[in-house]
Amino acid sequence: MEQIPILKLGNILLVSIQVEMHDQLALQLQDDLTIKLAKSQARGVLIDISALEIVDSFIGRSLAHIAGIARVMDATTVLVGMRPAVAITLVELGMTLTGIRTALNVEKGMELLRASMDEAEDFPSMS
């Protein structure tokens, strides 16, 4: 079965989406990521969509879902590698990807995640 691999890099999970995200694949990715987040105790999720030429409202919603799941599992999601044409289309579709942070490329995304993790450590939770 087709499956999007999730790569673990320290406490960050890297997902590079290269294939058209149909219904089943998006659900599978949600499941896989949830399991991997719990198992690896990762604090950040980096989703690279530089290979995608088209991001429709379904994919946009799926990404927002994934970010929502990650958030309740105490992980920050950063979306990287969005093509200019994709950005234009998303805004035209009225999708502003609220709740998802973005960065230009994987390297900048990593920096953003590390910075947000450091911040979280500076202000520990009351637990």
Q: Which residues bind a copy of itself (CB under 8 A)?
A: 3-5, 7-10, 14, 16, 18-19, 48, 50-51, 81, 105-107, 110
CB of 51 to a copy of itself, least distance (A): 5
Cα–Cα–Cα angle for 47, 48, 54, rounded to 5 degrees? 110
CB of 95 to a copy of itself, least distance (A): 22
What single letter denotes the amino acid at residue 94? G
Q: Token digits for 115?
A: 């910075």
CB of 5 to a copy of itself, least distance (A): 5
Nearer to a copy of itself by Cβ, of 8 and 22: the residue is 8
Nearer to a copy of itself by Cβ, of 30 and 50: the residue is 50
79 strand-pairing partners? 47, 102
Cα dist from 36 to 12, 49, 88, 118, whole Å: 11, 20, 32, 22
Nearer to a copy of itself by Cβ, of 20 and 74: the residue is 20
Nearer to a copy of itself by Cβ, of 85 and 93: the residue is 85
Distance CA(37)–CA(44), nearest Å, equals 9
End-to-end CA distance of the chain: 41
Q: Which residue has 């079965």 as its token pair? A: 1
